[in-house]
Structure 1
């Protein structure tokens, strides 16, 4: 059974990252989800399910994020006045809700305010407030507001750094290191105040601190000709993780690194995909899995493929910054994992993170040696795979026959197989152009993707046809499983 239940409630402007569908509760899987955890984006239906979905979210979200933001707020008169207005508005909304649903608390005079007078005065004086400063009643009210999703509206939507104009001006040295080093904390804070809002260079992850060595010094043999395919898998997992954590992977480095291992077959499963289709198929399968079904399914996954295309269009320096940021994420997760003493399967996760860190560094060195035109060729293949997936999703593939309603069992499967013959016939046309590649793919696929325009065109047709064949076979398997269940 599908856990995603479509309803008639459609938005006027549906987005690939915001599909017009309703989801069931991620915890109990019985009720429609009405709220979203502001930290991990898990969907839940009630306070009970929120408390059950993640103890890390309920206990450390406020301490590590909300209170940290309050500490960074400047204690000027305008900020104090704005905070007072927020408290008054929140107080009036809370009081209206208490009048409607919590009549039993009317006898308690302390329940008439969200924050105590002492806490409000501390806010107005510009002093920092943390979780320990709240009274027992204030803590309960805060947790109730988190559970109901009221605080989620206070979280600003994150704009990926690779979509900003400043991402196209990334410059690295010939050794791959960053040309601009970070300022001292006081200078950086002053610079941020002077620049104001807008595209900030600090939003882009910095490049490596040390020069990147040649690949020949890391291994004695020739690198795999499929490293470009592995790079697509890794970039997808990076975009998935940053979208999931709203750009703030530092808030939960262990969780972020674990998500990367779960989504990437190259980093998490020691996979060796040999085609872009194979790499994207695994990533999309993980995106649509029950573990991440609340993220949006296939539309969200196709949006991530578009993120991969954006990053590839930025060129080698941006790719190195992506891999460097991903390496820091894995390293930080590994360090925090060492500090924790009660985590289960600690040894296994640590070993996976260590291997992932080495693989990311190796591919970073490999990317540094590739010519700039390699990424446009790789982006063309990724774009062809995405177009094929979009055509199938829109029902534009005429070669997949519609099954007859009266067909049953094996007859239905035979009809799909007949339509598959046509696909395989089209596939044979492109296979003739790749007879040498089929005989020995590891020799015929160029490691730098510096192929001629004719070869690139044939390869794109070949990849698109392969995608159609894969989708047809997947449909056959799904129909077969459905008939077997009947």
Structure 2
């Protein structure tokens, strides 16, 4: 029996990630064999993605322009697509790196369409629309999509180290997907466009990872509060719609009954 995937951001070890001032991994996970030898009996920490192997450059080296104030919104969009993709693949994007990348591009408007959402509501609304589309509706629809928002809130609550590790994991996924895309024979004319989209997504993720690394911790608690508030609003709106649908059905049945009488 396959056990349900337990997200790495829900594990206690996710709160103990140590990165250097340059953003690189300080504490390396203990290999599985060492864990067994020490009779610890768990490879929990190894499931938390590693931080960058090389120092993250300052943003000033990546761009001469000031970072957009909308990057917090774009981060929510990107994190949502990451969490959704891991949920979809039961935590193992490596089983189909290119497929995982295509899911990311389809869910994230920032990475897949080059969109510039201006509010958290706008970013989440697009993500939820994609999750509820026919391609993914079988996974759980709106309820599943709302649950992924909780994943985003959890990641934000872990702070900068966990966010950097998540983005590094996502960046690695994009790179592996790009390799698979290059190795495939171009069956369709869209293949070249797909590779271009993947390359652009890789650059965006790397840039926002460097940006996240430079932000003060208090940014994430504020952003998490906004995301939580938007989720609450979405749930209230859903409840209102359900009530209206129920009332409409009740009225329709009443009218039918009256007509029959």
TM-score with structure 2 length normalisation? 0.89
Query: Which of 162, 170, 177 in structure 1 is aligned with 2:9?
Result: 162
Q: Distance in 2 between matches of 1:392 and 1:211?
A: 44
What is residue 348 of structure 1 aligned with on the other side?
Answer: 193
Report 1:302-313 matches (<5 A): 302-313=146-157
Shift of 1:405: 5.6
Q: Distance in 1 between matches of 2:81 and 2:187?
A: 24
Runs of 4+ residues deviating >4 angstroms: 402-406
Q: Distance in 1 between matches of 2:235 and 2:23?
A: 36
Q: Distance in 2 between matches of 1:198 and 1:272?
A: 42
Shift of 1:189: 4.2
Give 1 or 2: higher helix fraction. 2
Shift of 1:397: 11
Q: Distance in 2 between matches of 1:215 and 1:329?
A: 22
Query: Which of 256, 279, 283 in structure 1 is aligned with 2:100?
Result: 256
Is the contact made by 2:23 and 2:213 (CA closer than 8 Å) also made in structure 1?
yes
Q: Distance in 2 between matches of 1:226 and 1:352?
A: 21
Is the contact made by 1:261 and 1:267 (CA closer than 8 Å) also made in structure 2?
yes
SS in 1 for 2:117: coil
TM-score with structure 1 length normalisation? 0.49
Is the contact made by 1:164 and 1:199 (CA closer than 8 Å) also made in structure 2?
no
SS in 1 for 2:56: coil
Q: Distance in 2 between matches of 1:197 and 1:394?
A: 44
What is residue 265 of structure 1 aligned with on the other side?
Answer: 109
Q: Distance in 2 between matches of 1:242 and 1:321?
A: 14
Is the contact made by 1:166 and 1:199 (CA closer than 8 Å) also made in structure 2?
no
What is residue 171 of structure 1 aligned with on the other side?
Answer: 18
Segments of 5+ residues of structure 2 without an aligned counterpart are: 253-261
Q: Distance in 2 between matches of 1:389 and 1:340?
A: 41
Shift of 1:394: 2.5
Segments of 5+ residues of structure 1 without an aligned counterpart are: 1-153, 407-486
**1:80-135 alpha-carbon deviations (Å, 9 max, x no partner):** xxxxxxxxxxxxxxxxxxxxxxxxxxxxxxxxxxxxxxxxxxxxxxxxxxxxxxxx
Shift of 1:390: 1.4
**1:354-407 alpha-carbon deviations (Å, 9 max, x no partner):** 000000000001001100000000001001001111122223999xxx77969x
Query: Which of 373, 391, 395 in structure 1 is aligned with 2:240?
Result: 395
**1:396-422 alpha-carbon deviations (Å, 9 max, x no partner):** 999xxx77969xxxxxxxxxxxxxxxx
**Matched residue pairs, number?**
247
**More contact order relative to length (CA 8 Å, sep ≥ 6):** 2
How big is the alpha-carbon RMSD for the aligned residues of Structure 1 and Structure 2?
2.1
Change (3 A) 1:320 1:343: farther
Shift of 1:280: 0.2
Is the contact made by 2:11 and 2:44 (CA closer than 8 Å) also made in structure 1?
no
Q: Distance in 1 between matches of 2:16 and 2:225?
A: 22
**Residues 1:193 and 2:47 aligned together:** no
What is residue 63 of structure 2 aligned with on the other side?
Answer: 219
**1:275-314 alpha-carbon deviations (Å, 9 max, x no partner):** 0000000000000001111011110001000000000000
**Residues 1:180 and 2:27 aligned together:** yes
